[in-house]
Amino acid sequence: MANFQTHCTVAAGASVAATAVCAEAGAVNSSQGLLLIALGVFSGILPDIDSDHSVPTRLVFNMISFGVAIGSLFALQGEVNLLYLLGISLLGALFVRYVVYIIFAGITEHRGLFHSLPAALLFGLSTVSIGIHLLAWPLRFAWLAASFVTGGYLLHLLLDEIYSVNFMGSTLKKSFGSALTLFTRSSWLAYLLLYAIVGVGFYLLPMPAYLI
């Protein structure tokens, strides 16, 4: 599999190139372009969240913890006094970082469901939902951001598959085929559920006119 630096470098290069094309076409402004690059790089390391104690895992859960703390501050501002507000925010962040993380690490395995096509689609659809419902993004930009998330995610999986090929000896490593999966018999129920969620997401989420 490719290492962390390789994933970051390739994801950054691809994201910058794709954003340049979008900017040239007049589809995004400068701030939106920077956000697309950030999403592309972030999603380029996201599949390794199922690898316990990896850099992506620590990064993602630290970001979620920070988001929960900030979200709690805004949600409860004016409802409780400052001391309680800070305490609730801190407890929320610690709960995500140490309780949710431990549960997540216990129920996931590296190169499991997170290294699959439906997982890439699910994160893309989640981006659309968060963008239009929580961040008030324009619909077209939300779907464009989703394409960067899904694209960066798939790029990570493809890199892992490429690194599973020994080109010098024209042989395949044992890990070949485990980085980008469509379905596995051992986890058939989980995959069916994942595909069902993706299908419902495509059905419920609004789409720009050019995608209909």
pLDDT tens digits, one per residue of 31-84: 999 999 999 998 998 888 777 667 777 777 887 888 788 877 777 777 777 788
pLDDT per residue as tens digits for the range 137-173: 999 999 999 999 999 999 998 888 887 654 344 444 5
pLDDT band at 6 (very low <50, low <70, confident <90, very high): confident
Q: What is the largest CA-CA distance in the chain?
A: 66
The model's pTM: 0.79
Q: Would you list the DSSP string of 3-36?
A: -HHHHHHHHHHHHHHHHHHHHHTTS--HHHHHHH
